[in-house]
């Protein structure tokens, strides 16, 4: 019974090999954070064209670009799974601090807050 419910959730998230509840939670959280991709991409493009040259050394710019590209990459790959859920939750906090005017997208699945909190403990 539990496995069939997980498969239904998997279908809703368009994920191929989702095997655990943690994998589903990771995919769900990625979907919720999709709204941050645009501002991150804008920030990345600003770094690339030198908008922040006066405030950052070239090394700092390079590190910032690398980190932003990695974050965007993770948000675009919800199939990465449970192994990275803790890191994604930390990134979520950072994104909400950087972009407080952007709300996380609502997931089509119910009860996700309760489930994510359960994984954190």
pLDDT, one tens digit per residue, over 7-62 is 445 445 554 555 789 999 999 999 999 999 999 999 999 999 998 888 889 999 99
| 3-class SS string, the chain | CHHHHHHHHHHHHCCCCCCCHHHHHHHHHHHHHHHHHHHHHHHHHHHHCCCCCCCCCHHHHHHHHHHHHHHHHHHCCHHHCHHHHHHHHHHHHHHHHHCCCCCCCCCCCCCHHHHHHHHHC
pLDDT at 4: 44
Each residue of 71-118: pLDDT tens digit? 999 999 999 888 899 999 999 999 999 899 887 666 554 444 434 444
Res 106: pLDDT: 64
pLDDT at 2 over 60: no
Is the pTM above the cut of 0.75? no
């Amino acid at each position: 019974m539990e496995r069939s419910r997980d498969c239904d959730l998997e279908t809703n998230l368009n994920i191929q090999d989702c095997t655990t509840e943690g994998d589903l939670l990771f995919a769900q959280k990625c979907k919720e954070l999709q709204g941050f991709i645009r501002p991150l991409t804008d920030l990345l493009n600003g770094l690339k064209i030198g908008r922040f040259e006066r405030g950052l050394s070239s090394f700092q710019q390079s590190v910032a670009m690398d980190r932003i590209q990695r974050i965007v990459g993770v948000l675009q790959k919800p199939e990465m799974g449970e192994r990275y859920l803790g890191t994604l939750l930390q990134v979520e906090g950072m994104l909400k601090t950087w972009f407080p005017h952007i709300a996380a997208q609502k997931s089509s699945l119910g009860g996700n807050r309760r489930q994510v909190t359960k994984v954190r403990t």
